[in-house]
């Protein structure tokens, strides 16, 4: 194995990332809202030794046609189970794979996010993460009635008004992550004494108010959940442009990017590093993963034919913010190595299966063994926590004194 290990993650959403995936003969749309469906997917990802599974979520119904409100289509999967709860009920049924639910910052209180994800980290014994997401949709804002968001259409992207609205959402997201991280630190290690003889369950000196006051939040703390096993669960974010790169640089440990080909990889990595410098990031650099929508089969032609059949059912070709790849496991392994060769700072890939479970099984049982044969991917999990898997140390609480950290 190389000194720079390849990371592979999977993005789970509905019946798959093709909008017609639920109509594939091997799909099981009747099971989409059952715990067994999601458990089987996460267990398949663990069988493939993947680093983690992200679970998509949002505060409104899925929409193909609008940035700021839902569409009225009935030929697409609509509705989801809650991503945090999916992660929670799959945690005891898995042992090594990371569990990274999507949680939207725009309408969710940081205190609730911190509590839920700390609980997930305890429940999974140190395998929790958080995919940070913002919301620009007016229909989602209407669910809560606490704020009004401007309607944003694709043709208005790049205008000063839209840029200002998006900048506000990103600033709010950065503050939300900061509050959550402080709450995770508000219980120092060793806060729980549990000493019946002295009648002391807690060391009160190790429990801290976070006292965050900013433009969007005022949070006193402390958390109600003891410090997570990882100290700080892994924070990840998807980014396509400078403002999002800077949010990731301020707040995340891992960033998902969307190059279209190998030639774009070095430039995107350079943009990520420039964003880190612009925000004055300290500590470990962002781990950079590239997103790919994948259709995989032993026979590469069958993978391409599957996408074509689904395109016909959808009455349009598959479109995505990420590159779409259809082929054999060997061809996908070639692409993985070609893109990594383009930049040694590309740490790996988040794969979005076009059809679930078909393409996830092909990743676990085809792509991973092919990469293992090439000595390019691990043959077993070699760390316990998700942070460790990315070479990130378990941080001390920011509220601990130097003497306490040394102990």
Backbone angles phi, psi at 33, to 5 degrees: -105, 35
Distance CA 79, CA 235 (A): 25
State the Cα–Cα distance between residues 352 and 10, nearest whole angstrom. Answer: 6
HSE of 156, CA atoms in CB hemisphere, 13 A? 15
Q: Decide if 21 contacts 310 (C-beta within 8 A).
A: yes
39 annotated among ligand-binding-site residues? no
Q: How far is CA 32 from the centre of its chain?
A: 20
Distance CA 402, CA 407 (A): 9
34 is in an annotated binding site: no
Encoding tokens for residue 129?
A: 């993460």
In this structure, the number of other CB atoms found within 10 A of the CB of residue 354 comes to 29
Token pair, residue 352, equals 């979005």
Taking each helix axis from N to C end, the angle separating 110-124 and 160-185, rounded to the nearest 10 degrees, works out to 50
118 DSSP 8-state letter? H
| Positive or negative torsion for Cα 338, 274, 4, 365 | negative
Give the whole-angstrom CA distance, residue 224 versus residue 90.
23
Residue ranges in 186-222 assigned as alpha helix (H): none
Terminal CA-CA length for the chain: 35
Cα three-residue angle 349-352-232, rounded to 5 degrees = 60
Beta bridge partners of 103: 132
Contacts of 34 (CB under 8 A, 6+ apart): none
> Which position has the token pair 């990802």?
45
Tokens for 204, please give them.
Answer: 């009160």
Binding-site annotation, residues for FMN:
57, 102
Binding-site annotation, residues:
57, 102
């Amino acid at each position: 194995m190389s000194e720079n290990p390849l990371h592979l993650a999977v993005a789970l959403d509905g019946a798959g990332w093709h909008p017609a995936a639920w109509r594939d003969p091997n799909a099981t749309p009747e099971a989409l809202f059952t715990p067994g469906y999601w458990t089987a997917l996460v267990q398949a990802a663990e069988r493939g030794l993947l680093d983690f599974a992200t679970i998509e979520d949002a505060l409104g119904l899925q929409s193909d046609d609008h940035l700021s409100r839902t569409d009225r289509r009935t030929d697409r999967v609509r509705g989801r189970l809650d991503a945090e709860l999916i992660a929670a009920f799959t945690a005891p049924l898995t042992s090594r794979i990371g569990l990274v639910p999507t949680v939207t910052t725009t309408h969710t209180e940081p205190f609730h996010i911190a509590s839920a994800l700390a609980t997930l980290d305890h429940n999974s014994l140190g395998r929790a993460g958080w995919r940070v997401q913002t919301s620009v949709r007016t229909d989602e804002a209407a669910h809560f009635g606490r704020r009004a968001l401007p309607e944003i259409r694709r043709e208005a992207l790049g205008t000063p008004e839209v840029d200002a609205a998006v900048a506000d959402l990103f600033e709010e997201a950065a503050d939300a992550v900061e509050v959550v991280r402080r709450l995770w630190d508000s219980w120092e290690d060793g806060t729980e004494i549990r000493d019946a003889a002295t009648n002391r369950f807690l060391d009160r000196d190790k429990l801290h108010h976070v006292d965050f006051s900013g433009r969007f939040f005022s949070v006193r703390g402390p958390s109600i959940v003891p410090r997570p096993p990882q100290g700080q669960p892994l924070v990840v974010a998807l980014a396509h442009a400078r403002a999002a790169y800077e949010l990731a640089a301020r707040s995340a440990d891992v960033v998902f990017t969307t190059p279209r080909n190998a030639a774009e990889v070095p430039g995107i990595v350079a943009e990520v590093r420039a964003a880190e410098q612009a925000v004055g990031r300290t500590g470990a650099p962002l781990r950079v993963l590239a997103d790919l929508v994948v259709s995989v089969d032993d026979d590469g032609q069958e993978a391409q034919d599957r996408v074509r059949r689904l395109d016909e059912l959808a009455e349009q070709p598959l479109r995505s913010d990420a590159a779409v790849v259809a082929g054999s496991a060997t061809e996908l392994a070639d692409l993985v190595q070609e893109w990594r060769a383009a930049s040694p700072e590309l740490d790996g890939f988040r794969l979005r299966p076009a059809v679930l479970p078909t393409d996830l099984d092909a990743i676990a049982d085809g792509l991973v063994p092919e990469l293992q044969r090439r000595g390019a991917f691990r043959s077993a999990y070699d760390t316990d926590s998700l942070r460790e898997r990315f070479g990130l140390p378990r941080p001390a609480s920011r509220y601990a004194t130097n003497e306490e950290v040394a102990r």
